Amino acid sequence: MEGGIWVLAEQWRGRLCDVTYELLALGRELADGLGVPLQAVLLGDGVKELAASLGRADAVLYANHPALKDPLPEPYAEALAQLAAERKPRAVLVPLTNVSAGVGSLLGERLQASAVNFCKDVRLKDGRMEALCVLYGGKIEAAIAPAGEPVIFGILSGSRPAEKGRGAGAPAVEEVAVDLSPSQVRFKRYVEPEAGDVDLTQQDTLVGVGRGIQSQDNLELAESLAQALGGAVCGSRPVVDQGWLPLSRQVGKSGLTVKPKVYLAAGVSGAPEHIEGMREASLIIAVNSDPGAPIFNVAHFGFVGDVLDLLPALTEAIQARKA
Amino acid sequence: MNILVLLRMVPDVVEELEIAPGGNALDLDALRMILSESDDHALEQALLLKERHGGKVTVLAPDAPEVDDALYTALAKGADRAIKITDIDEALSARSLCYACSQVLSSLPGLMPADLILTGAQAFTDLDAVIAPLLAYQLGLPHVGIVSQVAVDAAAGSVTVLREYAGGVRAEIEVSLPAVLGIQSAEKPPRYVPVAKVRAAMKSQKIETAGVPVMADGGMALIQVAGMVKPEAAGHAEMLEGSPEEVAGRICEILAARGLLQEVR
Amino acid sequence: MPDPLTHSLLAGGALLWAMTLISLGLFCWKVAAYGRVLQRARLEPRWDHLPQRLRLFATNVLGQKRMFEEPAIGAAHFLIFWSFVFYAGSFWWNLGRALLPMLPVPFADEVAWMALALEVTGVLGLAALAVAAVRRYVFAPPRLEKSRDATIILLLITLVLLSSLAGGGFAYLANPRSWRPVGAFLAGIFSAAGVTQVQAGSLYLWMMWLHLATVLGFLAYLPYSKHLHLLASPFGVFFGALQPGLAPASSEGAWKLEEFTWRQLFSGLACAECGRCDRACPAFESGTPLSPKTLMHDIKMLVRSNGADFAVTREQVWACVTCAACMTRCPVFNEHIPLLIEMRRHLVAQGEVDPRLQTALMNLTRYGNSFGQSARNRAKWTQGLGFKLKDARKEPVEYLWLVGDYASFDPRVQAVSAAAGRVFERAGLNFGILYEAEQNSGNDARRAGEEGLFETLRDKNLAALAKAKFERIVTGDPHTYHALKNEYGRANGVVHSTELVDELIASGKLPALTKLDATVAYHDPCYLGRYNGVYAAPRRVLDSVASTVVEMPRNRANAYCCGAGGGRIWMEDAPTGKERPAEGRVREAAGLPGVGILAVACPKDLVMFEDALKTTGLEGQLAVKDIMQLVEEGSRSHATSAP
């Protein structure tokens, strides 16, 4: 099949990541809008059975190769490039996550095709594909019109609900061959984070702290609030980098993805890397002193003010209510 | 060790970003530029490696407003050589930049062969490409991105890095030198260098300039910015007004209405 | 009466000459050795303003002025000092006479008025020593160092006085003369104890010997002891800082002996370890590792070990709030703050900076403010004023108002700025601000050890000032005030907003102010009060706008710092288990009967005390207000624009 929309299925450690389904949902819309087939590309070593859940697509291209065992951009991009050169898709949707990082750029280079990153959406405008991209940490949104075909879209997680990408039924799976030289980097092992005392993914309530908490001392304000709410404290990358919270409490691109009932973002700016980890919370309440903070784009409720004032006030209000 | 660090200036989002009248670019007058955060980490990592293993650190940066400041600061922090790459259209094409850099690296004497080429894992201006893997591809070198730890084994001529995935999981990856690394965060936060040292560097050291031999027509023609907008920050969230106490009360009501204020388990 | 010179022990004077030469030799040798150590340090000429220095010497060495801040020991020390000086003087007289018998001069105690004077000062001295001993060993104030050397010295002085008085008693018994009441009294006791006249004559000689030997021994011992205070302190005062707390001249910092200046090192030698600095220090009182007294001790050890032993830690260096309470209390004018600033400069040069401080310094460098906000936002606070402030960059004004960082960017202090703006407008002032061209004054960057950053900020501000046209500068920020007045090289033309309001009230430009019916306590800001002596103007202003104004227990030069200075507002506070300075201060205010308002005149004070009210739970009891807010309330009848 030529001229389809391709989605790179993100497979990691034997499982398909949720973002795969998000991209399938998006890809389905584009494919239907253009009247072309939607194909999922599954790359790996001995993971054929994962193709069964990619039913939202019309077909699955499965390439099995030892070099594809662990996700690295070079072999993945090369495999995609070989397949794309033969089968000429119109667009390739690649997840913009740590796992698939770099694949899109290398693929675009290899095919001498347009590549667009930071896409939060791709829509059709007069039969042409246009990407809506997030730039400068969320401060600017740009509509991008790529030229030529294929176009490689790097899609941020959260473009579509994952449920919309899960398909009924198993798709047709075509095994394809790729010619890959052994990787120049040697994958040695995975390093798990130290088991934290708390499993953030099991919490109903999370208080997320960012740079706005200003100092390690002020963490106790967040702790008190988390305790009052029966939840736990987590943090964005800067807070963990400073050593104020352990790695097991990091939420975001390199950290955990959490889906609590309520996420209180305290002093979090809302850069895409963090949003990626918490945007699926049922209720997001954000406090930040910067009225232009991108977190307000994903929050349900927001307050422009001093985090260090609001946290204790909220803790007190909650305790008063319970008393 | 011969380490090259590629630095880039990006818009400083502390300043209000304004959109130029044409609607598809930033208003450059309103803009200040700052060193991209992960590039700062790449520089710090390079300096740490130099302190541990000896050698030289060369920093390169495409010409942009305030880049001299960044380059002199790098020299004051301990870099040995600073090169400013001129004649690059610094608009949103990371791809063009990549082509230009790979040509400069290959053509300037004394740079290659390098043991390590470090740059930030990504910048929020990388609209059409991520630099680190692309640069490696163009130079024919291996690459690892999203790196947060670097251990050099000089005898074996290889480096072992920790590369970040998700959920706090990292992978130990080994690659032979020379290699390109996309640094997510250095082992220590970027060091402080006093103003006096930067001023001293401005007086006593020089920034070399290097033009691009052939202006590559990179990715710029391939994508066009059809329009830029500032997202309506309040468009999504319902903003709460009042004193912290009043807002706290309101939040309590919101939580209670959803049954979220239960007893502490 | 036997002639001391024919006494067998003094025969030929050879033994006395030998003792004198050895004693003086040891003394001079050790003093010279100290001199050589100090010579390794950096130069710091302190010969300027000689008349002022002489006055300082007269007041503080001869007059012992600062000692009287603690009255009981002040009086005692005054007496000990003068009796010692007097005895030292008479010793040289006696020694000279003993070594050179051909001089037609009697011994000191053979001259009637000298004998009386020696007796009176001896008795007073001993009484004072007794008081001092009781205070030292029974009622010791906190932080008084009871070192062994200090004890030895006190004992030696006692022995000097006792031996002289006892000798006088024996002399009287052997040869009664008038003008010697104490001698007569003691003679009576000795005689009752069975001492004969002949024995008395001999015992008198022994006492003279003991006296001379003690003094010679004391002289030799002194420079080898750790209590060089006696020798060094007069020089410390004479070469002291004429204005305490100013940052030292630009340098690259110090951590090794030769990197400090001689005067900074000298502080260690002049220190008597009395503990007044510790008793005044907010960093010490709030439990941080810093003790100014221990710092002086560590410097003393550095000098004594010729640069080998340096025990000062980084935590101690960073804990200082630069309030200058230590330097203001120190009777020997030690230089605690310059020492700490030099050490901070060294740490900054190494890049060893607390991460939060690093952020603040980088923000100052890049944006000219410590808040990390765009310079363009500096004047945003004026939007709520209701009228436009003149842009002093574009039109001439009479008063250039330098608002300051906290007053421009911190939401709590912006209300104070608005109040001040309204007051100036009501008074009909021709005033304006520099809008985005204003930068942080650099005062705290300098005190955090970032000298290069200070210079950059200063130069940018001076450039902006040079372009603007104005008569005087007014600022509500004492840190800005201090920097402009003392460290920018502009001595004249800077007033604090309370000083200006004081003038406006006096000249009738702000008439008929309504007084707030409240009891107000005033907190003297460190950089306005202690550093610059502005105490009266803010009080006069408060008297005009508040019904009852009371003094804090620690007020004026004794005011207790809020803890924000020296860049500490930008640093992490390690938990110490004790109250932070601001918390202690608000409790002090809340403890005053009826006080509902703590009045401040510094943006950082406002911020620190408001936070402290929350952490101490005193929020309902006490409110913090800047004087300008009270003036604004009191001048509402003059309002020409909506408040």
pLDDT in tens, C31-73: 999 999 999 999 999 999 999 999 999 999 999 999 999 998 9
Domain enclosing residue C81, as ranges = 4-235
Across the range A84-96, mean pLDDT stands at 95
Contact flag A216-C411 (C-beta cutoff 8 Å): no
What ranges in chain A are assigned the alpha helix state H?
A: 18-34, 73-87, 103-111, 219-229, 237-241, 272-278, 307-322
- Considering the domain architecture, whether residues C339 and C393 belong to the same structural domain is answered as no
pLDDT for the residue C102:
80
For residue A44, the cross-strand partners are A64
- Considering the domain architecture, whether residues C202 and C293 belong to the same structural domain is answered as no
Residue of A32 and C113 predicted with greater confidence: A32
Mean pLDDT of chain B: 89
- Considering the domain architecture, whether residues C20 and C55 belong to the same structural domain is answered as yes
Tally C-beta pairs within 8 A across A and C: 10
Across the range C408-424, mean pLDDT stands at 94
Please say if the pLDDT value at position B234 is more than 50.
no
What is the side-by-side order of every strand in the sheet holding C390-391? C390-391, C431-433, C399-402, C472-475, C494-496
Contact flag C572-A217 (C-beta cutoff 8 Å): yes
- Could you report the per-residue pLDDT of C259-298, keeping only the tens digit for each? 999 999 999 999 999 999 999 999 999 999 999 999 999 9
Please indicate if any CB of chain B lies within 8 Å of the CB of C380.
Answer: no
Name the domain boundary from C172, C203, C235.
C235
Please report, to the nearest 10 degrees, the dihedral formed by the alpha carbons of residues A27, A32, A37, A40 taken in order.
20
What is the spatial distance between Cα C595 and Cα C521, in angstroms, rounded to a whole number?
7
- Joined tokens for residue C202: 């001999």
Which candidate, B60, B59, B46, places its Cα nearest to that of B1? B46
- Considering the domain architecture, whether residues C35 and C86 belong to the same structural domain is answered as yes
- Could you report the per-residue pLDDT of C437-446, keeping only the tens digit for each? 999 999 999 9
Across the range C356-367, mean pLDDT stands at 95
Q: Hey, which chains touch B, using 3+ CB pairs under 8 Å? A: A, C
Contact flag C367-B16 (C-beta cutoff 8 Å): no
pLDDT for the residue C642:
47
Q: Which backbone phi and psi does B43 adopt, to 5 degrees?
A: -65, -45
Contact flag A141-B173 (C-beta cutoff 8 Å): no
Residues of A in contact with B174 (CB under 8 A): 185-186, 188
Residues 6+ apart with CB under 8 A from C14: none
Name the domain boundary from C465, C485, C504.
C504
Please indicate if any CB of chain B lies within 8 Å of the CB of A192.
Answer: yes
Residues of B in contact with A113 (CB under 8 A): 222
pLDDT for the residue C8:
47
Contact flag B129-A108 (C-beta cutoff 8 Å): yes
Please indicate if any CB of chain B lies within 8 Å of the CB of A253.
Answer: yes
Per-residue buried b or exposed e for C514-527, using 16+ beta carbons within 10 Å of the residue's own CB: ebbebbbbbbbbbb
Angle in degrees, CA A158, A24, B127, rounded to 5: 55
Please say if the pLDDT value at position B183 is more than 50.
yes
- Nearest CB neighbour to A185, from listed B16, B121, B142: B142
Tokens 């033309």 found at: C493
Please indicate if any CB of chain C lies within 8 Å of the CB of A242.
Answer: yes
Mind telling me how many Å the CA of B187 is from chain C's nearest CA? 15
Contact flag C572-A214 (C-beta cutoff 8 Å): no
Give CA separation, C75 vs C72, C127, C132, in Å. 6, 11, 10
Residues of A in contact with B127 (CB under 8 A): 116-118, 133, 135, 142, 144
pLDDT for the residue C145:
84
Q: CATH no. for residue C275?
A: 1.10.1060
pLDDT above 90 coverage of chain B, percent = 59
pLDDT for the residue B90:
57
Please say if the pLDDT value at position B215 is more than 80.
no
Mutation site for C-interface testing, chosen from B195, B243, B245 by largest number of C Cβ within 10 Å: B195
pLDDT for the residue B263:
58
Report yes or no on C448 lying in a domain.
yes
What is the spatial distance between Cα C480 and Cα C475, in angstroms, rounded to a whole number?
7
- Considering the domain architecture, whether residues C389 and C478 belong to the same structural domain is answered as yes
Report yes or no on C398 lying in a domain.
yes
- Nearest CB neighbour to B195, from listed C355, C373, C453: C453
Contact A47, A13 (CB under 8 A): no
Please indicate if any CB of chain B lies within 8 Å of the CB of A310.
Answer: yes
Query: Which is it for the CA torsion C148, C153, C156, C157, positive or negative?
Result: negative
Question: For residue C374, is it left (φ>0), alpha (ψ between -120 and 50) or beta?
Answer: beta
What is the spatial distance between Cα C394 and Cα C317, in angstroms, rounded to a whole number?
43
ipTM score assigned to the predicted complex: 0.90
Nearest CA in chain C to B194: C349
Contact flag B127-A227 (C-beta cutoff 8 Å): no
Report yes or no on C297 lying in a domain.
yes
- Considering the domain architecture, whether residues C63 and C23 belong to the same structural domain is answered as yes
What is the spatial distance between Cα A29 and Cα A12, in angstroms, rounded to a whole number?
25
Please say if the pLDDT value at position A141 is more than 80.
yes
Per-residue buried b or exposed e for A27-55, using 16+ beta carbons within 10 Å of the residue's own CB: bbbbbeebebbbbbbbbbeebeebbebbb
- Considering the domain architecture, whether residues C584 and C629 belong to the same structural domain is answered as yes
Which candidate, C539, C501, C402, places its Cα nearest to that of C458? C402
- Considering the domain architecture, whether residues C397 and C468 belong to the same structural domain is answered as yes
Three-state DSSP at C399 gives strand
Enumerate residues 251 to 310 of chain C having a beta carbon within 8 A of any beta carbon in chain B. 252
Q: CATH no. for residue C556?
A: 3.40.50
Please indicate if any CB of chain B lies within 8 Å of the CB of C453.
Answer: yes
Contact C461, C441 (CB under 8 A): yes
What is the spatial distance between Cα C303 and Cα C313, in angstroms, rounded to a whole number?
17
Helix axes C229-238, C262-270, angle to 10 degrees: 140
Mind telling me how many Å the CA of C573 is from chain A's nearest CA? 8
What is the spatial distance between Cα C160 and Cα C145, in angstroms, rounded to a whole number?
23
Mind telling me how many Å the CA of A18 is from chain B's nearest CA? 12
Please indicate if any CB of chain B lies within 8 Å of the CB of C349.
Answer: yes
Contact flag B175-A303 (C-beta cutoff 8 Å): no
Residues of B in contact with C372 (CB under 8 A): 14
What band does B231 get if pLDDT is binned at 50, 70 and 90?
A: confident
Nearest CA in chain C to A304: C411
What ranges in C138-273 are assigned the alpha helix state H?
A: 148-174, 181-192, 197-221, 229-238, 262-270
Name the domain boundary from C504, C525, C546.
C504
Mind telling me how many Å the CA of A249 is from chain C's nearest CA? 21
Contact flag C351-B15 (C-beta cutoff 8 Å): no
Which candidate, B116, B115, B117, places its Cα nearest to that of B101? B117
Q: What is the pairing mode between strands C494-496 and A283-288?
A: unpaired
Nearest CA in chain B to A117: B127
pLDDT for the residue C467:
93
The secondary element (H helix, E strand) that includes residue B3 is strand B2-6
Please indicate if any CB of chain B lies within 8 Å of the CB of C355.
Answer: yes
Residues 6+ apart with CB under 8 A from C376: B15, B16, C436
- Could you report the per-residue pLDDT of C492-528, keeping only the tens digit for each? 689 999 999 999 999 999 988 999 999 999 999 999 9
Please indicate if any CB of chain C lies within 8 Å of the CB of B51.
Answer: no
Please indicate if any CB of chain B lies within 8 Å of the CB of C411.
Answer: no
Q: How many domains in chain C?
A: 4
- Joined tokens for residue A202: 């099991």
- Considering the domain architecture, whether residues C377 and C344 belong to the same structural domain is answered as no
Report yes or no on C595 lying in a domain.
yes
Mean pLDDT of chain C: 91
- The identity of residue C282, as a single letter, is P
Mind telling me how many Å the CA of C373 is from chain A's nearest CA? 10
pLDDT for the residue B235:
55
Helix axes C71-99, C14-39, angle to 10 degrees: 130
Report yes or no on C358 lying in a domain.
no
Contact flag C452-B199 (C-beta cutoff 8 Å): yes
Residues of C in contact with A217 (CB under 8 A): 572-573, 575
Q: What is the pTM of this model?
A: 0.91
pLDDT above 90 coverage of chain A, percent = 67
Report yes or no on C357 lying in a domain.
no
pLDDT for the residue C640:
54
What band does C451 get if pLDDT is binned at 50, 70 and 90?
A: very high
Distance of CA C72 to the CA centre of its chain: 20
Helix axes C181-192, C112-137, angle to 10 degrees: 70
Q: CATH no. for residue C219?
A: 1.20.950
Contact flag C376-B16 (C-beta cutoff 8 Å): yes
Helix axes C71-99, C112-137, angle to 10 degrees: 140
Nearest CA in chain C to B193: C351
Residues in chain A: 323
- Nearest CB neighbour to B137, from listed A99, A106, A310: A106
Give the range among A76-80, A182-186, B137-141 with minimum mean pLDDT: A182-186
What is the spatial distance between Cα A155 and Cα A9, in angstroms, rounded to a whole number?
12
Contact B100, B61 (CB under 8 A): no
Report yes or no on C359 lying in a domain.
no
Mind telling me how many Å the CA of A81 is from chain B's nearest CA? 14
- Considering the domain architecture, whether residues C629 and C519 belong to the same structural domain is answered as yes
Mind telling me how many Å the CA of B77 is from chain C's nearest CA? 9
Please say if the pLDDT value at position B219 is more than 90.
no
- Nearest CB neighbour to A215, from listed C411, C572, C614: C572
Contacts 24+ apart (CB under 8 A), C105-108: C107/C4
Contact C317, C447 (CB under 8 A): no
What band does C171 get if pLDDT is binned at 50, 70 and 90?
A: confident
Mind telling me how many Å the CA of C141 is from chain A's nearest CA? 34
Residue of B100 and A94 predicted with greater confidence: A94
- Joined tokens for residue C194: 């069975």
Mind telling me how many Å the CA of B234 is from chain A's nearest CA? 6
Report yes or no on C543 lying in a domain.
yes
- Considering the domain architecture, whether residues C231 and C248 belong to the same structural domain is answered as no
- Considering the domain architecture, whether residues C559 and C590 belong to the same structural domain is answered as yes
Q: Which backbone phi and psi does C290 adopt, to 5 degrees?
A: -80, 130
What band does C598 get if pLDDT is binned at 50, 70 and 90?
A: very high
